Amino acid sequence: MIISGPCSAESELQVLETARQLAATGKVDIFRAGIWKPRTRPGTFEGVGDVGLPWLRAVKEETGLPVTVEVAKAVHIDLALKHGIDVLWIGARTTVNPFSVQELADALRGVDIPVLVKNPINADTELWIGALERILKAGIRNTGLIHRGFSSYSKNEYRNPPMWQIPIEMKRRFPEIPLLCDPSHICGNRHLLRDISQKSIDLGFSGLMVESHIDPDNAWSDAAQQLKPQDFFHLMEMLVWRREQLPETDTHAELTALRGLIDQLDDELVNLLGQRMEIIDKIGVYKKNNNLTILQTKRWNEILKRGFARGEELGLTRDFLTRYLNAIHLESIHHQNEVMNSDEVKVSGLNHSEKGIKHVKGQ
């Protein structure tokens, strides 16, 4: 499912011309335009408001494309329905607020319209789930999720870093609900769009929402990330869609064998981690008895250096190795914290310690 259109509706001409050119690409299923824009700062363009809704009706009549707008208040839903809008979406700044989402859910009760729920601005899976649940509870049968990345304090190559583990978790929790990617708001620029779009497709997303505009550089909002309709067409042409499942008739013996190997290796990795933690516990006892701190910075630097050297030889990225080693290190610190700060471990040497550790573990 491909949704495209301008970040904001600005004028009848801009909306209609963008829609005509997009429809001509043959790549769009739904036309989007923001009518009410939730902006970070007051005084910036906050959308044309309901005068823009008839422009969308004109798009529908002329191109035959269904149209979608963002709604953030009950009154937006009323107006959108009155003007024949086909699909509604809830923006990231609304999903964060359970009061707002509940107001929308109440207004949707008894209405039959598809609703797409963007992720909240902050990386909180439960908040995203909560918003979806409120909409489902209101009786909306047709829902979808849109991944638009998460706000980050640190400077980043993305406007909203994708943090793929969160949409992957949503797909696992709601396998039946279509998950779309909005590469425009993730990237915040045009040059990363292809990468992010393809990545989402490779992760099994079922569609995209991409912002496009007849004159992106002069757009009234999100100028840096919108595509001209012809560039949107080229982007769509470059993307490779893959299937998540092989047809039932394929024997796919080779894939099954390779997956068997992966399962074995995963088992070994977990066993090794368990063994590593047993030794970590013993070191914890040693540190306790010798009054040493848990964190030994010099030793930690050595571990990182060794890990990077070996890992990079094997083709693992430094970014992955950093996250992996940090995760193991944090778990180790957590283990030693338990060992060292539990009053129940009263041991004087390594040999005695094992009993104490077991005791702690059993708590």
Summarize as ranges the residues that interact with ligand PEP (CB under 6 A). Answer: 7, 34, 91-93, 118, 148, 185
Residue 159 interacts with, from Mn ion, ligand PEP, none (CB under 5-8 Å by kind): none
Helices within 222-317 (DSSP H only): 229-238, 253-289, 297-313
Quick one: 148 or 335, whose CB is closer to ligand PEP?
148
Residue 92 interacts with, from Mn ion, ligand PEP, none (CB under 5-8 Å by kind): ligand PEP
Q: To the nearest whole angstrom, how small is the minimum distance from the Cβ of residue 250 to ligand PEP?
A: 38
Q: How far apart are the first and last CA of the chain?
A: 51
CA distances for 189 relative to 2, 196, 251, angstroms: 19, 11, 43
Could you say which DSSP state residue 153 is in? S
Quick one: 164 or 308, whose CB is closer to ligand PEP?
164
* Burial zone of 136 (CB within 10 Å; 0-12 exposed, 13-18 middle, 19+ buried): middle
* 217 contacts 224 by C-beta, under 8 angstroms: no
As beta bridge partners, residue 2 has 208
Quick one: 223 or 255, whose CB is closer to Mn ion?
223
Query: Judged by CB under 5 A, does residue 69 bind Mn ion?
Result: no
Quick one: 14 or 336, whose CB is closer to ligand PEP?
14
Q: To the nearest whole angstrom, how small is the minimum distance from the Cβ of residue 126 to Mn ion?
A: 25
Query: Judged by CB under 5 A, does residue 182 bind Mn ion?
Result: no
Residue 216 interacts with, from Mn ion, ligand PEP, none (CB under 5-8 Å by kind): none
Q: Provide the CB-side half-sphere exposure for 52 (13 A, CA).
A: 25
Could you say which DSSP state residue 34 is in? B
Q: To the nearest whole angstrom, how small is the minimum distance from the Cβ of residue 120 to ligand PEP?
A: 9
Residue 148 interacts with, from Mn ion, ligand PEP, none (CB under 5-8 Å by kind): ligand PEP
Q: To the nearest whole angstrom, how small is the minimum distance from the Cβ of residue 268 to ligand PEP?
A: 41
Q: To the nearest whole angstrom, how small is the minimum distance from the Cβ of residue 287 to Mn ion?
A: 52
As beta bridge partners, residue 4 has 31, 210
Quick one: 37 or 288, whose CB is closer to ligand PEP?
37
List the structure tokens of 172.
Answer: 């696992």
Query: Judged by CB under 5 A, does residue 7 bind Mn ion?
Result: yes
Long-range contacts of 267-274 (CB under 8 A, 24+ apart): 273/328
Query: Judged by CB under 5 A, does residue 30 bind Mn ion?
Result: no
Angle formed by the axes of helices 125-137 and 98-108, nearest 10°? 20
Q: To the nearest whole angstrom, how small is the minimum distance from the Cβ of residue 13 to Mn ion?
A: 20
Quick one: 91 or 284, whose CB is closer to ligand PEP?
91
Q: Which stretch binds Mn ion (CB under 5 A): 136-144, 201-209, 214-222, 331-339?
A: 214-222
Residue given tokens 């180790």 in the structure block: 332
Residue 183 interacts with, from Mn ion, ligand PEP, none (CB under 5-8 Å by kind): none
Residue given tokens 């005068």 in the structure block: 51
Residue 118 interacts with, from Mn ion, ligand PEP, none (CB under 5-8 Å by kind): ligand PEP
CA–CA gap between residue 245 and residue 237 (Å, rounded): 23
Q: To the nearest whole angstrom, how small is the minimum distance from the Cβ of residue 34 to ligand PEP?
A: 5
CA–CA gap between residue 351 and residue 129 (Å, rounded): 48
For binding to Mn ion (CB under 5 A), which residues are involved?
Answer: 7, 222
